Amino acid sequence: MKTRKLGNTDVELSVIGFGTWAIGGGNWGMGWGDQDEKDSIAAILEGLDQGINWIDTAHAYGFGESESAVGKAVKEYGGEVFVATKCGVLPKEDRSPYRFISRKTIFEEVEGSLKRLQTDCIDLYQIHWPEPQENVEEGWQALLDLQKEGKIRHPGVCNFFENELNRAESLGHVTSNQPQYSLLDRRIEPDVLNWCREKSTGLLTYSPMHSGLLTGKVSREWYESLPSNDWRKHKKDHPVTKHLQEPNLENFLDFVENLKTIAAESDYTVGQLAVAWVLSHSEVTSAIVGARKPGQIVETAQAAEWELSQDELDRIENACSEFAQNVK
């Protein structure tokens, strides 16, 4: 597996990271359906065997369930694994998530994460969302202080744009930023890409396959078959799931067929194309992809070997432009 340097650190991360959002189970409001922990551990171990050397998780993913599975998998693996987790999404009484950062809550959260991950120091600790906005400096200073205390090695952020990045950077260097980035979500172009390059901040992008929409497996039947506790099924007004609703669905399926044609010519899948496209941007350190059971990550990991040609990039861009013109 190819690696890229994480910002200005000496850490070399595999260009594909193992994402664990989907293994948090279905009982927390943004879950992907019920999950067997044995499957989660087996999938993680398979990813590590494929050469992936880092795992991304969060307290929010099942409010501890994902971190616990990661801790068990890394212990069973026994080798060196770079583990990143997040703070700043807390459970309401009904276990639905809400975003909140403060010094007090972050210091409380990190203790739980350390315990579940079975470690005394977290490799990369990230603010999950910059909310509330007025607490960005307070939250970032909390991470800098945790670094000084030796509880975390590197402080990072997620879902930060230029304004929040500048506010954090003024207090101390932002090791990494983790935004969503895919063919269907390009909000970080060009400002965040440029900012991370200029500041030597690592860029760890999540959902390159846009939460499963760019796997090539989406159909009306696929969508109907999703369990009721899969967030993609019950959050119909979400920016991601809008493509699954009429009148957008037909246009979206046509777009995927165009991508499928491009990918097939090089013996790859749409999912692999989506990941390879994200990695074609030199600013990106690593693309985070998820897996819920053995067999899934093996296919996706092959995207690391595909360097898209300029002709392929141009054809993908044309397909995206045509698709965007028809989105309602």
For residue 53, what are the contacts with CB-CB under 8 A and spacing of at least 6? Answer: 1, 3, 12, 13, 14, 80, 81, 82
The total number of residues shown for the chain amounts to 328
Helix or strand holding residue 177 (H, E): strand 176-178
Domains of the chain plus CATH, in order, are 3-213+270-306 (3.20.20.100)
For residue 163, what are the contacts with CB-CB under 8 A and spacing of at least 6? Answer: none
Q: Per-residue confidence at 83, pLDDT binned at 50, 70, 90?
A: very high
Q: What span, in angstroms and rounded, lies between the C-alpha atoms of 228 and 260?
A: 28
Q: Specify the 3-state DSSP secondary structure of 59.
A: coil
Please pick, among 61, 125, 206, 268, the residue that the annotation labels catalytic. 61
Q: Per-residue confidence at 247, pLDDT binned at 50, 70, 90?
A: confident
For residue 147, what are the contacts with CB-CB under 8 A and spacing of at least 6? Answer: 153, 154, 155
Angle in degrees, CA 287, 314, 205, rounded to 5: 15
Is the pLDDT at 31 greater than 90? The verdict is yes
Q: Single out the residue of 213, 186, 214 nearest to residue 271, CA to CA.
A: 214
* pLDDT one-digit tens code per residue, 215-233: 999 999 999 999 999 999 9
Is the pLDDT at 321 greater than 80? The verdict is yes
* pLDDT one-digit tens code per residue, 167-205: 999 999 999 999 999 999 999 999 999 999 999 999 999
- DSSP bridge pairs for 262: none
* pLDDT one-digit tens code per residue, 36-62: 999 999 999 999 999 999 999 999 999
Q: Please tell me what DSSP assigns to residue 121.
A: S
E strand intervals along 209-326:
286-290
Is 125 marked active-site?
Answer: no
